[in-house]
Amino acid sequence: MSRRRSGALLPLELRILESGLQLQTPDEGFHGFLLASRMATTDDTAGLTAHGTLYKALARMTEAGLLDSTWEDPSLAEAAGRPRRRLYRVTPEGAVALAASRLEAPSSLPTPARTARGLA
């Protein structure tokens, strides 16, 4: 297995950044299950990413500074009758990394628009 170039993003990481930017709002981040659902519906070539793979990538990207993560307020989760969610936001560094990857190889990146047209 070859080692990836320092700073190079994997296709999954590019998809996470792309989908995360679409999901987050100025007031709210996104959680892993919502992200997985979005990725499954917008990227026909990839299907549903295994949750273990997705959460490992989210942790790796948080550690690299591409994402920020916080825990949801416990009272919100309690009121909804579910466990707390870890909420993610794409950082400015993550947005720059995505833009740089698009500039390096714009025709090879899987994006929702490209996959909808069958180009990826």
Determine, yes or no, domain membership for 5: no
Determine, yes or no, domain membership for 18: yes
Alpha carbon distance 115, 109 (integer Å): 10
Average pLDDT score over the chain? 83
How much is the pLDDT for 68? 98
Determine, yes or no, domain membership for 100: yes
- The pLDDT tens digits for 17-35 are 999 999 999 999 999 999 9
Residue numbers of the domain that contains 25: 11-83+90-116
Determine, yes or no, domain membership for 6: no
CATH code of 47's domain: 1.10.10
Count up the domains in the chain and report the number: 1
- The pLDDT tens digits for 97-111 are 999 998 886 555 555
Determine, yes or no, domain membership for 39: yes
Alpha carbon distance 93, 17 (integer Å): 11
Determine, yes or no, domain membership for 72: yes
Q: Who's near 22: CB < 8 A, 6+ residues apart?
A: 38, 112
Q: What is the DSSP string of 58-120?
A: HHHHHHTTSEEEEEPPHHHHHHHTS---EEEEE-HHHHHHHHHHHHH-TTTS--HHHHHTT--
Q: Who's near 62: CB < 8 A, 6+ residues apart?
A: 68, 69, 88
Backbone φ and ψ of 89, nearest 5°: -140, 140
Determine, yes or no, domain membership for 16: yes
Stated pTM of the model: 0.77
